[in-house]
Amino acid sequence: MIEDKSPQRTPIENLGEFGLIDFITKNFEIKQDSTITGIGDDAAVLNHTKSTLVTTDMLVEGVHFDLSYVPLKHLGYKAIVVNLSDVYAMNARATQVTVSIAISNRFPVEAVNELYEGIHMACNTYGVDLIGGDTTASRSGLVISVTAIGEQDAGKIVRRKGAREGDLLVVSGDIGAAYMGLQILEREKAVFKANPQSQPDIEAYSYLLERQLKPEARKDICKLLEELEVHPTSMIDLSDGLSSEMIHLCKHSEVGMTLYEDKIPLDPTVITACEEFNLDSTTIALSGGEDYELLFTIKQEDFSKIKANPSLSVIGHVVDASYGINLVTRGGEQIPIKAMGWNSFQE
């Protein structure tokens, strides 16, 4: 007899909604003292002793991700991380998440389990509790909605509003890599469509692909700033591109900004990939998105505290609103910055 080695496919209807919920959440444990009741009751019960922050994000198949090259485990991990990033962008501590999915019957139980393995990994990595959510049928693709909850002392919360003229503009890490990772994946998908027998050689792009498929939220930057005794005057995470996020800070703070092209932190692999794709690396940094680094402003007197830190780069400064938002090029030319970031409502 020939052994059947094809992957097991258990139809979701075999378990039913409640059976599926029990199956995918059986390994989640409560870690936060503020979680009184998690999964299993009509509602979760929380007891935060500080101000509570709540943020929600949705990922839609065909709009935010392509399952032809995004592994479900990576997708589950990323779905949590992008929401936690919003909590850290307000200088808060993430504590709980809820996850709701709408899924079609083309996904077997094993695929849903793979998605939740990534969710479980992210919850463990960042020390947050999964406390609830919902599952329902979808007549089209996969939809994931995550709500992240956090806490912080009211006086330590950092908003988009608060930047003042003279403040320094700072970014964590490097930017542009996630967008270039997406370009690599899209190119290899096109190659595969043309020749399904082709084997992609993507080892040289591992950093770019990791930044796209498995981003990390900068929880460490919040801790670092606290240790350095630096309290940002405004902050936002880089989800839609540097230009868009700068405009958000300026709008809410009612200021202008000057960004210096030669100060933008770019990984060498981003520059190499941009040359390969005949793209301008500065344009990619401004409009790429999905870096999930933190962009924030600090008072000038705090410069000495961060200037030697390899995780932080001063890339510009805050000016009066009348000056607008401008990029100073390497040649000294001043160019107005417009929102060029990703927009899900555009084709």
Domain match, 99 and 223 both: no
Domain match, 147 and 212 both: no
- The number of residues making up the chain comes to 347
Q: What is the CATH number of the domain that holds 194?
A: 3.90.650.10
Of the three residues 135, 156, 177, the one that is the final residue of a domain is 156
State the alpha helices, DSSP H only, in the chain: 16-25, 72-88, 109-126, 177-194, 206-213, 219-227, 242-253, 268-276, 281-287, 303-306
Of the three residues 156, 181, 199, the one that is the final residue of a domain is 156
Cα dihedral 304, 307, 313, 315 in deg (nearest 10): 50
* Res 345: pLDDT: 43
* Res 26: pLDDT: 78
The pTM assigned to this predicted structure is 0.92
Domain match, 303 and 176 both: yes
Domain match, 208 and 110 both: no
Strands 312-319 and 168-172: antiparallel
Domain match, 330 and 197 both: yes
Is the pLDDT at 344 greater than 60? The verdict is no
Domain match, 41 and 120 both: yes
Tens digit of pLDDT for each residue in 286-326?
A: 999 999 999 999 999 999 999 999 999 999 999 999 999 99
Per the domain annotation, does 1 fall within a domain?
no
Q: For tokens 């509570």, what's the residue?
A: 52
What's 124's DSSP letter?
H
Per the domain annotation, does 211 fall within a domain?
yes
Tens digit of pLDDT for each residue in 201-250?
A: 788 899 999 999 999 999 999 999 999 999 999 999 999 999 999 999 99
Q: Which helix (H) or strand (E) holds 171?
A: strand 168-172
Rounded alpha-carbon distances, angstroms, from residue 57 to 83, 118, 342: 6, 17, 15
Domain match, 202 and 182 both: yes
Angstrom distance (rounded) from CA 79 to CA 75: 6
Domain match, 135 and 175 both: no
Domain count, the chain: 2
Residues 104-111, mean pLDDT to the nearest whole number: 88
Residues 42-56, mean pLDDT to the nearest whole number: 96
113 touches 19 (CB < 8 A): no
Domain hosting 332: range is 168-336
* Res 1: pLDDT: 37
Per the domain annotation, does 5 fall within a domain?
no
Tens digit of pLDDT for each residue in 77-97?
A: 999 999 999 999 999 999 999
Q: What is the CATH number of the domain that holds 65?
A: 3.30.1330.10
Of the three residues 134, 156, 178, the one that is the final residue of a domain is 156
Q: How is the beta sheet containing 294-298 ordered, strand by strand? A: 234-237, 294-298, 168-172, 312-319, 256-260, 325-328, 334-336
Domain match, 181 and 59 both: no
97 touches 123 (CB < 8 A): yes
